[in-house]
Structure 1
Amino acid sequence: MRVIKVVFLFLLIIGVLVLSFLRPDDYLWLSFILALFSIVFLLIRFERRKMEARELVLLAILASIAAVGRIPFASIPSVQPTTFVIMMSGYVFGAESGFIIGSVAALASNMILGQGPWTLWQMVAWGLVGYSAGLMQKTKLMNTTWGRIIFGIIWGFLFGWIMNIWGLFAFTQGGNAVNMKSLLTYFAGSALFDSMHALSNVFFLIVFGNNWLKILTRFKRKYGLLE
């Protein structure tokens, strides 16, 4: 069942992203569709147990924290605690919870910072941050501070590369001018911003990582949330 859900998720993501190229003016509707399916995807996880209101409230709070965290750092390109919050939330509460926190955080924060065709891609990128953190929560890599730092560095660059794919196709005449040279040029141009994103992830993980882990784990165990 878990494999089926993973396959369904990636097919959904691919389908929505393809639609974003075919219908670029409908980005907001596509974003809401992805958010809706994210919620359905989360609820599938709880098909054998009752979903409690306090669990939904917790997810909403974490998504809000991740979204609001972007605003004070909006003037500093790629530096924000959003990826850190999504990563830690997915790590503690699971893959599906991480995905919905990431996707909703992107949609909510862009209500303030500005919606556009990029919103859908940010939802996917941040959703995958939380989802992959949840999938790897029992691995040796994620159970050490240095492992989580490496994970944060990797996603600092992966997030930028996912957004590069959108930018490359969106600003090169519908993708007609995409070739190896333009690809390398585009990715090289974003290297500084991707590095800043990765370094900001490292900073937040080193300074706040252990405290966040203790707090979220305590909430999960004490109140039996999202077990």
Structure 2
Amino acid sequence: MIAQLKSKGGYLIALAVMVLSLVWITFFNGDQHYVIISIMCLVASMLPFYWHFETRRSEAREIVFIAVLATMAALGRVAMAPFPDVKPTSFIVIMTALTLGKESGFIVGSTAAIVSNLFLGQGPWTPWQMFAWGMMGVTAGMLRNFDWAHNRYILAGIGVAYGFLFGWIMDLWYVLVYIQPLTIKTFIAAYVASFYFDLIHGITTGVLLFFFYNSWYRIIERFKYKYGLMGVQEQLDAQGFKES
């Protein structure tokens, strides 16, 4: 019973933040502060994932392994800072999700955003990047149980799509902050202007998935089974018990 309450705690907090945001919009002229409201909603949407990760039973080696992947994702972005739309981060986030699951994918993606911004600069865009890469991990993790999701040709196409989806989320932040007046024409113009940059991000992700998916998958799977991460040890113990 206590475990169930803990697992629902993040959702209750997120719901409370959403309700407070709506109250602010309704009664305190919050439409003039839609950037702040949008950031509050983004933070609220991410709370359940962090809450569940914090309250679930995890071993130190599992946390360390996820931290290593998040660090690699962050450093990949920092190293390619001279080419801001070439983002190896997306590749690592997707690979994490496909091998370790959507929760790990979310943690690696959102953590990589905030850690890399320690070097590249924090700002109101950070929650949006955390959300975009976090949701990339969640959705990629939802695909991991489908056989076609492990076909590198299909993955290359998915990588290109993720490049655009990430860009569209960040474009929304740009539109809310910088585009005045905000109309349908200015909204569409902002998205069209980012097409080239989103395409570069997507192609980079797709190419990395096409050429390095198999090797990264084997490496992460080897670590997962060697050290019994993500519930693998319990599965092996259960199989051993059945066999005996």
TM-score of the two chains, using structure 2 as the length reference: 0.77
- Determine the C-alpha separation between the residues in 2 that align with 1:37 and 1:182: 34
Asked if residue 39 in structure 1 is aligned to residue 50 in structure 2, the reply is: yes
* Cα distance change of structure 1 residues 112 and 15 upon mapping to structure 2, 3 Å threshold: farther
Cα deviation code 1:69-90 (max 9, x no counterpart): 0112111131020000001001
> Which secondary structure state, in structure 1, belongs to the residue aligned with residue 148 of structure 2?
coil
Instruction: From the CA coordinates, give the structure whose radius of gyration is larger.
Output: 2
Match of 2:35?
21
Distance 1:71 1:132 in 2: 24
Alignment counterpart, residue 140 of structure 1, candidates 139, 142, 147: 147
> Which structure is higher in helix share?
2
The equivalent position to 1:181 in structure 2, one of 181, 185, 188, is 185
Equivalent residue number for residue 111 of structure 1 = 118
| Counterparts in 2 of 1:52 and 1:221: CA distance versus 1, 3 Å | same
Alignment size in residue pairs? 211
1:199 and 2:203 equivalent?
yes
Structure 1: stretches of 5+ with no match in the other structure: none
How big is the alpha-carbon RMSD for the aligned residues of Structure 1 and Structure 2?
Answer: 3.0
Q: Map 1:124-139 to 2 at 5 A.
A: 124-139=131-146
**Change beyond 3 A, Cα 1:196–1:96:** same
Sort the Cα spacing of 1:179 and 1:39 in 2 relative to 1 into closer, same or farther, 3 A. same
Note closer, same or farther for the CA distance 1:143–1:203 as it changes in structure 2 (3 Å cut). closer
**Partner residue in 2 for 1:222:** 226
Q: Check 1:20–1:128 CA distance in 2 against 1; reply closer, same or farther (3 A cut).
A: farther
1:35, distance to aligned residue in structure 2 (A):
7.3
Specify every segment of 5 or more residues in structure 2 that has no aligned partner in the other structure, as ranges. 22-32, 232-244
Q: CA deviation at 1:104?
A: 0.6
2:35 partner amino acid: F
Aligned to 2:30: none
The alpha-carbon deviation at position 179 of structure 1 amounts to 2.1
Structure with greater contact order relative to length (CA < 8 Å, sep ≥ 6): 1
Task: Work out whether residues 20 and 117 of structure 1, in 8 Å CA contact, stay in contact via their aligned partners in 2.
Answer: no
Q: Could you tell me which of 215, 229, 234 is aligned with 1:211?
A: 215
Q: Identity rate of aligned residues, in percent? A: 38
Which of the numbers 86, 94, 99 marks the counterpart of 2:93?
86
User: Per-residue deviation at 1:42?
Assistant: 1.9
- Counterparts of 1:78 and 1:225, CA distance in 2: 33
Equivalent residue letter for 1:202: G
2:18/2:44 contact within 8 Å kept: no
Is residue 94–residue 135 contact of structure 1 (8 Å, CA) maintained in 2? Answer: yes
CA–CA separation in structure 1 for the residues paired with 2:48 and 2:111: 11
Q: CA deviation at 1:168?
A: 0.4
Deviates more, 1:159-168 or 1:178-187: 178-187
Task: Give the C-alpha shift of residue 39 in structure 1.
Answer: 2.8
